[in-house]
A and B are shown apart, each in its own frame.
Chain A
Amino acid sequence: MTGAPVLALREVSKRFGAVQALTDVDLDVHAGEVVALVGDNGAGKSTLVKTIAGVHPIDEGTISWEGRPVRIERPQDAQALGVATVYQDLALCDNLDVVANLFLGRELRRHGTLDEVAMERRAKELLDTLSIRIPSVRIPIAALSGGQRQVVAIARALVGDPKIVILDEPTAALGVEQTAQVLDLVERLRERGLGVILISHNMADVKAVADTVAVLRLGRNNGVFPVADTSHEEIISAITGATDNAVTRRQARIAEEAK
C-alpha cells in the first residue's frame, strides 16, 4: 500500500437540487487495497460510488487517476479508466448462460461470428484463477444460487481488466456460506493487485476483508481507519455519530484555539 493511490478524490461535492448529498469528501484507493465504505442509510455511500462510476458527475472537487486529474462524466469514462462496478441488483441476464453473461457487450469474435470456444476457455480460466466453482459455465444464470450469481457478477466486472472494482453490498442477500465465498473472492481480487471499494453494512464482513474503513456521515468524511487497529465500536460510533457530541466538540474547539 505504498506509493500513490490509483484513485484519489479530493473535496468532492454533489448536490441534487436542494439536497447536499456529498460535501468535501476525500477518498484514496491504492492498488491491492480493500477500502470498506461504510455509513448509515443516506450517508452518501451510493452517491459517492456513483460519482466514481460516472453515473452522477461531480459538482465540485477533483478526481485523480494514477496521479493525473481526470473527469468522469459518463459510465463509459469510468470503464475506460478501469473502474468496474458491480451493482446491488446484479445486472445479469437470467436467460443467458454464464459465458454469455461474462462477455455480454464485449463478445469475442472470429470471422465476424461469436467465438464461443475462445469465450468459454477464457471464462473457465477467469473462474479458475478466482477459484469460483459453479456447476457449469453453460447453464443459464437463472439456475444459479444467489451466491453463485454474485460471484459471476463480480467475475464479469473483471473481464475488462479493471484496476478498481466497486462492490455495492455484495453480501447483502446471501447466506453464511455464500457470504464466505464472496469474501474469499474479494481477497483474491486484492491478491491480484486490484483496488476494491466495498460498500457494506455488515461490520463482520468489513473487519474480515477490508484494509481500510472510510466512514461517511451525512455526506461528509467522518474518519478513515486502518482496520487492523480499530475496534468494532470505534467504527460504529463513527457511523452513528456517537463521537459527535458535546465532549468531542469541546475538545475540537480547544484544539482549534490552541493553534
Chain B
Amino acid sequence: MSTSQTTPTPADAAADAAAPAASAADPRLLVRRQGLGGYAEEFRRRIKSGDLGSLPVVIGLVLIAVIFQSVTGHFLQADNLTNITKWIAGPGLIAVGVVFVLLLGEIDLSLGSVAGVSAAVTSVLAVREGLNEGLAILLALAAAVALGALHGFFFARIGVPAFVVTLAGMLAWSGLQDYVLGKLGTVNNINDGIVANLDTYFLGDGDVLYAWLLAVLAVAAFLTAQLLDARRRTAAGLPARSTGEIALRTGALAVLALTGAYMLNQDRGLPLPLVVLLGVVVLTDFVLRRTSYGRQIFAVGGGVEAARRAGINVARVRISVFMLSALLAGLGGLFIASQQGSADKQLGSGNVLMSAIAAAVIGGTSLFGGRGKTWSALLGILVIQSITTGLDMVHAAQAIQYMITGAVLLAAVVLDSLTRRTRTAGRS
C-alpha cells in the first residue's frame, strides 16, 4: 500500500507485525483518536459519508415536539405523552415485525390482516366460545405464526415473490377475519379481561416506583454492559470505548430514561403497552445483533448467494422471519383490539399496515435489505403517532394527516436511497 509493491520478504512481514504503530500511521486506516475529540471526529466522518443512523429521525421528533408544543401549548403535557406511548404499542409491534422482513430485503403486506385475524380469533374463542382468555390468546398467536409459516413456505420453498404471497395473504386473511367474526362483525372485549387490560393497565396501578425502577435498571444494565465490553476489548488488545465516552452515552440515556419516568409518573405511571413494546424491541435487538440467527438474517438480506455459500439455510431463515413477523403482528392486533374496545372487521385494515411499514423506514431501516434495527420501529412509530396526535390536537382533517405522513415517509425513503448511494460509491 504505502510501502513498495515488491514481494515482501518474511522479514518485512515480521517488521509489519512488530510495528503496529506503522500501520496506525497509514492515513487511510480509520483509527479513532482516543477521547471525546476522537468521538466528534468519527461522528463528523459518519455524517459526511452519509451514514446518518437515527439522527434524522431524532431531529424530526424534536422538531415535531417543538412545533406542536408551540402551536397547541399542551402537546408535551404528561397525559398526552402517556397516551402516545400507549397508542404506539399495537402498530409499533407490527413495525418490529416489518423491520425483520425488510432486513431480508422483502416486504410483508399481510401483517395488518394477520393482526385482524389474531384479534378476531381471540375474541371469538374467549367471548363466544367461552374459552379461557389466556388460552384463546395463545391459540390466536399460534394461528398467526401458522399464517406466517404459510407465507414463508410459498416464498422460500416455492419461490413466489414475497410481495405477491403476502398480497394474497392480505386479501385471504382479511376474508378469514370477516368469516371468524361472523354476521355481527364486532366482538367487545371481556370487561376487565386480559385483552381489555393490555391497553389500560398501568404497572402497580400507577405506583410511581415502577417507572423509576425501570429507568434506573435500564441505565444500570446499559452501563454494566458497556463497562464489561470495554474491559474485555481492552484485555484482548482491541480498541475500546473510552470511559469518557461510556459516561457520555450513559448520561444521555439516564437523562432520557429519568425524564421519561418523571413525565409518566406525572400522569398515571408506567403503562403496560409501553413496557411490552420496549421489551420486544430490546429482545429483538439482542437477537439481531448478538446471535448467530440475527447474523444470518443480515447475511441473507445482504447477499443470498453469499449466505448460501457460507452454509446458511436460507429457506429456514426466510420462513422463520415470516413466522416471527406474523407473531408480532398477531400480538400487535391484540393491543389494537384492546385500545378500540373490540375486535371488528376493520381492525388491521386501512392504514395500519402502511403506518407500520412507514414507521420502520422512517426509523432508518433500509427498504433494500440488510440494514436496520428494531429500534427504528420504535422511533418511526413515535414520529407517526406524534404527527397524528398533534394534528388531532389542532383539529386538522384526516386528509391533511395522510398527506403529511406520506410526505414524511417519502422523505425517509429518499434519505435511505441517498445513503445507499453514498455507501456503495466506494466500490470499484
Contacts and interface: CB of A to CB of B under 8 A. Distances in A.
A147 B5 CA distance: 14
A76 B312 CA distance: 12
Contact of B298 (A95, A112, A118): A95
A147 B426 CA distance: 12
Interface in A89-133: 89-96, 100, 104-107, 109, 112-114, 117-118, 120-121, 124, 128-129, 131, 133
Contact of B291 (A113, A124, A145, A183): A113
A201 B299 CA distance: 32
Interface string A77-92: 0000000000101111
A113 B290 contact: yes
A94 B302 contact: yes
Given A93-B307, A105-B311, A142 B427 contact: yes
B423 interface: yes
A141 to B, nearest CB: 8
A135 B29 contact: yes
Contacts of B423: 140, 142-143
User: Which of the listed residues A93, A96, A109, A184 has the most CB atoms from chain B within 10 Å of its own CB?
Assistant: A93
A105 B292 CA distance: 8
Contact of A118 (B12, B16, B49, B236): B236
B8 A91 contact: no
A256 to B, nearest CB: 44
Given A133-B26, A144-B426, A117 B238 contact: yes
User: Which of the listed residues A94, A128, A173 has the most CB atoms from chain B within 10 Å of its own CB?
Assistant: A94
Contacts of B427: 142-146, 149
Interface string B18-40: 00000100101111000000000
Interface in B264-323: 286, 289-292, 295, 298-299, 301-303, 305-307, 309-312
Contact of B426 (A106, A109, A117, A145): A145
Given A95-B302, A105-B312, A117 B428 contact: no
A136 interface: yes
Contacts of A146: 427-428
Interface in B2-24: 5, 7-8, 10, 12-13, 16-17, 23
A135 B30 contact: yes
A100 B5 contact: no
Interface string B413-428: 0000000000110111
B13 A131 contact: yes
Nearest to B286: A113
A87 B303 CA distance: 14
A27 interface: no
A191 interface: yes
Interface residues of A, number: 51
A129 to B, nearest CB: 7
A175 interface: yes
Contact of A131 (B8, B292, B302): B8
A207 interface: no
Contacts of B26: 133
User: Which of the listed residues B17, B31, B303, B307 has the most CB atoms from chain A within 10 Å of its own CB?
Assistant: B303
A188 interface: yes
A107 B8 contact: no
User: Which of the listed residues B49, B229, B306, B371 has the most CB atoms from chain A within 10 Å of its own CB?
Assistant: B306
A142 B426 contact: yes
3 pairs of A and B residues whose beta carbons are closest in the complex: A105-B310, A95-B370, A93-B302
Interface of A: 75-76, 87, 89-96, 100, 104-107, 109, 112-114, 117-118, 120-121, 124, 128-129, 131, 133, 135-136, 139-140, 142-147, 149, 173, 175, 177-178, 180-181, 183-184, 187-188, 191
Given A114-B292, A131-B16, A133-B23, 8 more contacts: A87-B309, A90-B306, A96-B295, A113-B291, A114-B295, A128-B17, A133-B1, A187-B7
30 contacts: A92-B306, A93-B303, A93-B370, A95-B298, A95-B301, A95-B302, A95-B369, A95-B371, A96-B302, A104-B295, A104-B307, A106-B311, A107-B292, A114-B289, A114-B292, A117-B238, A121-B237, A121-B238, A131-B13, A131-B16, A133-B23, A140-B423, A142-B424, A143-B49, A143-B427, A173-B428, A177-B5, A178-B428, A181-B1, A188-B13
